[in-house]
Amino acid sequence: MSYVIAVASTADLPYEYLKEHGIPFIRYGYTMDGKSYEDDCKEETKANIYAQMRQGKTLKTNAINPYSYYEFLKKYAEDGQDIIFLDMTQKISSSYSNSLAAVNELKKDYPDRKIVSMDTLCVSGGLGFLVKQMVKRKEEGMSYDEVLAWGEENKLKIAHRFTVDDLNYLKAGGRVSNFSALIGSMLSIKPVLYVPDEGTLEVAQKIRGRKKALNTILSSIKADLEGVDTKGAEIDILHADCLDDARYIKSELKKAFPGLKEVNITSLGVVIGAHCGPGLIAVFYFCNKRRP
């Protein structure tokens, strides 16, 4: 029986990758200047949006409702395919509960199909990292059940480490208070964040200064990978209009772990970018255990 791995645009995978591997993706919506758009995962769109954000324009994002998830996934069930769907962790977004409601209805309408909405406990590039690993194994010949089991077994081994440049974006999303954002901005405080096993978003450290925050991320990565065989491994870096910082992180990682197969740099998608702002740097990789 054939099956499909489908994702949301918030996996922040490049459009070219999604197209090359035939991965269907549902597009989150957002508005700017009163106009509505859909997240197309294309580099030119990201560059344009971040340029406008740096000019002071704001984005508002829209959750995907259960009906839209249902309609998106229904065509694959109708085609006789089983479905693995991956979206953001339920602790950060309503996406999982909405997609799960759609999947439960689909399973009633197509009882012969295997349909799962996986609580990935990942977000953004961590979700994308998980998707790429599962797609790789599907293309290598793993069955539906094998790929799903692999994903469940390994999702908590994906580390998420990142920092933001402007606390006001986290303030707007309710992640920090107005006072904390004001004081943090005055003192150039840069929070270094991570995603623990619960799939929430937590502050690991509060660092004064951008360069120190980047170096703190590097130190944390080195600690995570101490004793880990990194030969042939991959690390993904996402950036929101701060390519030089991404290149710095890549250079330092290549020095620290010369056996790495690849350190990939990709632009952050606009939906997550709307909540974090230009200047976000995030790094994703396999580790033995998530920790602060």
Whether the Cβ atoms of residue 73 and residue 107 lie closer than 8 Å to each other:
no
CATH class for the region spanning 3-155 = alpha beta
**0.85 cut: is pTM over it?**
yes
* DSSP state letter for 112: T
3-state secondary structure at position 109: helix
Q: Is 168 a residue whose pLDDT tops 80?
A: no
Mode of pairing for the β-strands spanning 234-239 and 281-286: antiparallel
User: 3-class SS at 83?
Assistant: strand
pLDDT score, position 170: 59
Domain 157-286 architecture: 2-Layer Sandwich (3.30)
The pLDDT value recorded for residue 1 is 65
The per-residue pLDDT for range 85-138, each reduced to its tens digit, is: 999 998 888 899 999 999 999 999 999 999 999 999 999 999 999 999 999 999
Tens of pLDDT, residue by residue over 22-50, are 999 999 999 999 999 999 999 999 999 99
The beta-carbon contacts of 51-59 under 8 Å, at least 24 apart in sequence, are: 51/241, 53/241, 53/273, 53/274, 53/277, 53/278, 54/241, 54/278, 57/32, 57/33, 58/32, 58/172, 58/274, 59/30, 59/31, 59/32, 59/270, 59/273, 59/274
Alpha carbons 184 and 223: distance in angstroms, whole number: 27
| Percent of the chain predicted with pLDDT > 70 | 92
Q: State pLDDT tens for residues 252-269.
A: 999 999 999 999 999 999
- Burial (0-12, 13-18, 19+ Cβ within 10 Å), 261: exposed
Cβ contacts of 159 within 8 Å, gap of 6 or more: 126, 194, 221, 224, 283, 284, 285, 286, 287, 290
Tokens 């974006």 found at? 169
Q: What is the pLDDT of residue 226?
A: 92
Domain ranges within the chain, ordered by starting residue = 3-155, 157-286
Helix (H, G, I), strand (E, B) or coil at 259: coil
